[in-house]
């Protein structure tokens, strides 16, 4: 799918020039003439790249940038702000609002395309970093599950073995005496069930979590 750009520019001719230049470079352009229209378009169809004129009608570009950042705390949208003013205060105001890049409005179409291409590469790097962080978190989780499984086996096996041994001896004595002890049978059944859980923990290789009640998840111990 071609990359999408939201362009907010209130000058009709300038908006057409920028839109045509970006479209010729292979971008799908969503054009807005006011700050309110730009914000509405972003909320309706969140796009990865946004270009904002600081002097937009209605909500200015800097205020639109600020509101986009409020909607996008993870900064997955790249916001490029441009202005006719080269004052340092204007640049700092845009950066404080959360802009990722700042240009003067007198840039050429080629310059715009180059900056957008750079923005795309930065977005791709950020996405790759987030994916790596997710994989690292998953690896830490799996390592933690494995360590927990070993600890549980160690802590449960010895007392469980003692319970099973004594319960089985009592069951044998009851059987020889011709007696039936339902409570003792229940103890044996449940102890064997715990032993089976410990066995499955020892063979856990690819832990998966499942939702067992709404909003609550647990590790699923798959049968071999």
- In tens, the pLDDT along 212-223 reads 667 776 666 665
Residues 21-45 have pLDDT tens digits of 888 888 899 999 999 999 999 999 8
Domain residue extents for the chain? 4-107, 137-220
Note whether 59 and 35 are within 8 A (CB).
yes
Q: How confident is the model at residue 171 (pLDDT cuts 50, 70, 90)?
A: confident
Note whether 8 and 38 are within 8 A (CB).
yes
Yes or no: is domain 4-107 CATH 3.40.50.1820? no
Cα(22)–Cα(28) distance, rounded to whole angstroms?
A: 8
Write down the residue that tokens 């908006």 correspond to: 15
Where is mean pLDDT largest: 47-51, 100-104, 210-214?
47-51
pLDDT of 224: 46
Among 51-65, 142-156, 164-178, which stretch is predicted with the lowest mean pLDDT? 142-156
What does the pLDDT average to over 125-147?
Answer: 66
What does the pLDDT average to over 123-138?
Answer: 69
Residue 211 burial by Cβ neighbours in a 10 Å radius (0-12, 13-18, 19+): exposed
Of 142 and 153, the one with more pLDDT: 153
Does residue 92 carry a pLDDT above 90?
Answer: no
Among 86-90, 145-149, 182-186, which stretch is predicted with the lowest mean pLDDT? 145-149
Note whether 119 and 49 are within 8 A (CB).
yes
pTM: 0.56
pLDDT of 162: 79
């Amino acid at each position: 799918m071609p990359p999408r750009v939201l362009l907010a520019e209130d000058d009709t001719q300038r908006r057409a020039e920028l839109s045509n230049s970006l479209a010729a470079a292979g971008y799908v352009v969503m054009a807005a003439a006011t700050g309110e229209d730009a914000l509405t378009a972003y909320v309706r169809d969140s796009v990865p790249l946004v270009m904002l004129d600081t002097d937009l009608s209605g909500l200015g570009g800097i205020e639109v940038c600020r509101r986009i950042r409020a909607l996008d705390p993870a900064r997955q949208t790249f916001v490029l702000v441009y202005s006719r003013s080269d004052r340092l205060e204007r640049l700092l105001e845009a950066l404080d609002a959360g802009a990722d890049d700042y240009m003067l409005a007198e840039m050429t179409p080629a310059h715009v395309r180059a900056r957008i291409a750079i923005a795309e590469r930065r977005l791709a790097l950020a996405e790759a970093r987030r994916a790596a962080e997710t994989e690292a978190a998953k690896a830490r989780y799996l390592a933690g599950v494995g360590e927990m499984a070993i600890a549980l086996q160690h802590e449960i096996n010895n007392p469980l073995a003692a319970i099973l041994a004594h319960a089985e001896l009592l069951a044998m004595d009851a059987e020889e005496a011709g007696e039936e002890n339902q409570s003792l049978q229940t103890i044996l059944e449940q102890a064997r069930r715990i032993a089976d859980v410990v066995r499955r923990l020892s063979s856990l290789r690819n832990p998966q979590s499942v939702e067992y009640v709404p909003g609550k998840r647990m590790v699923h111990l798959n049968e071999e």
